């Protein structure tokens, strides 16, 4: 099946798994998905993820979701920049999510990173998603 927005597909799978209180979710692998998951893991929104290669160019990512006192750590996860409407921000206009309690994930010339890290490195880029 062809997906026009692979990152949006992954975020939707995570959102659906959280609503069903699943511990793990599986999604097809891509470099962008792996980089976004590395940011989510570093920020403490997911426990871990692992990539499995099946050969012939196919691979999957298994994401272990994180819960605290039986409530999901990710309360909201939303795609901002879509294939039909790209959203780019300068370093001065990177939005604060929930007054600093959440993060925005950006794709910058220096790689995929969280909003606070982009401010520290003084770079802007494409605003991929918002998590809190």
Domain ranges in the chain are 6-131
Structure confidence at residue 128 as a pLDDT band (50, 70, 90)? very high
For residues 68 and 64, give the distance between their C-alpha atoms in angstroms, rounded to a whole number: 13
- Map residue 74 onto helix, strand or coil: coil
> What value does the mean pLDDT take over residues 79-103?
95
For residues 38 and 117, give the distance between their C-alpha atoms in angstroms, rounded to a whole number: 13
Residue 120 CA, distance from chain mean position: 20
Residue 1 has pLDDT above 90, yes or no: no
Least confident of 15-19, 67-71, 96-100, 108-112: 96-100
What pLDDT does 117 receive?
97
Structure confidence at residue 13 as a pLDDT band (50, 70, 90)? very high
Structure tokens at 17: 């798994």
Candidates 97, 103, 20, 30; CA nearest to 60 is: 30
- Find out whether 83 and 7 touch, Cβ atoms under 8 Å: no
DSSP state of 53: E
Topology classification of domain 6-131: Dna Ligase; domain 1 (3.30.1490)
């Amino acid at each position: 099946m062809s997906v026009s927005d692979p990152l949006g597909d992954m975020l939707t799978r995570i959102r659906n798994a959280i609503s069903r209180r699943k511990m793990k979710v599986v999604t097809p692998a891509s470099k962008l998905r792996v980089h976004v998951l590395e940011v989510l893991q570093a920020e403490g929104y997911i426990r871990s993820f692992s990539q499995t290669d099946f050969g012939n160019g196919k691979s999957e990512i298994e994401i272990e979701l994180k819960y605290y006192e039986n409530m999901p750590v990710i309360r909201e996860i939303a795609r901002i920049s879509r294939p039909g409407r790209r959203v780019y921000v300068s370093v001065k206009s990177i939005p604060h999510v929930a007054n600093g309690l959440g993060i925005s994930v950006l794709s910058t010339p220096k790689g995929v990173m969280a909003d606070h890290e982009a401010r520290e490195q003084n770079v802007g880029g494409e605003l991929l998603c918002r998590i809190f």
